Amino acid sequence: MKTLAFLIILLCTLSFNVLSQNVTEIPLPEEFVTTMDVAGEYPMVRTGYLTDSISDIARFYQQKLGEPLKTNGNNTYRTLFYNYQEHKVRISLYRRSYVTEVGIMVE
């Protein structure tokens, strides 16, 4: 009986972990360099940078996630707002010194 209870708890825990890991699977461009990754708590945050332009990165996310619910900014900075797997996602892009900094936050 203890073994059965242990197996049920283990399966529930694994199922929860798989679901929470899927939330952090926001697509990343191929050359994305991660500088910070906080995936164990909400809000989940991933930051990094690319040499691509803001327009190219925004186009990548439009192809992968569809049209954003809302967009703010210009060619120096831009923020894209999405709903992904029932979570609010904010993707912030900031162009500086030949690189574009990318911040992804999942609430």
Instruction: Report yes or no: 40 and 33 within 8 Å, Cβ to Cβ.
Output: no
What span, in angstroms and rounded, lies between the C-alpha atoms of 20 and 30?
23
- Whether this prediction's pTM lies above 0.85 is answered by no
Alpha-carbon distances, residue 44 vs 28, 31, 90, 95 (angstroms): 15, 21, 11, 22
* Consecutive 10-residue averages of pLDDT for the chain (107 residues): 46 41 74 90 89 96 96 94 92 95 93
Specify the pLDDT at position 47. 94
What span, in angstroms and rounded, lies between the C-alpha atoms of 38 and 36?
7
Q: Could you give the number of structural domains in the chain? A: 1
Boundaries of domain holding 52: 2-106
Specify the pLDDT at position 5. 44
What span, in angstroms and rounded, lies between the C-alpha atoms of 101 and 57?
10
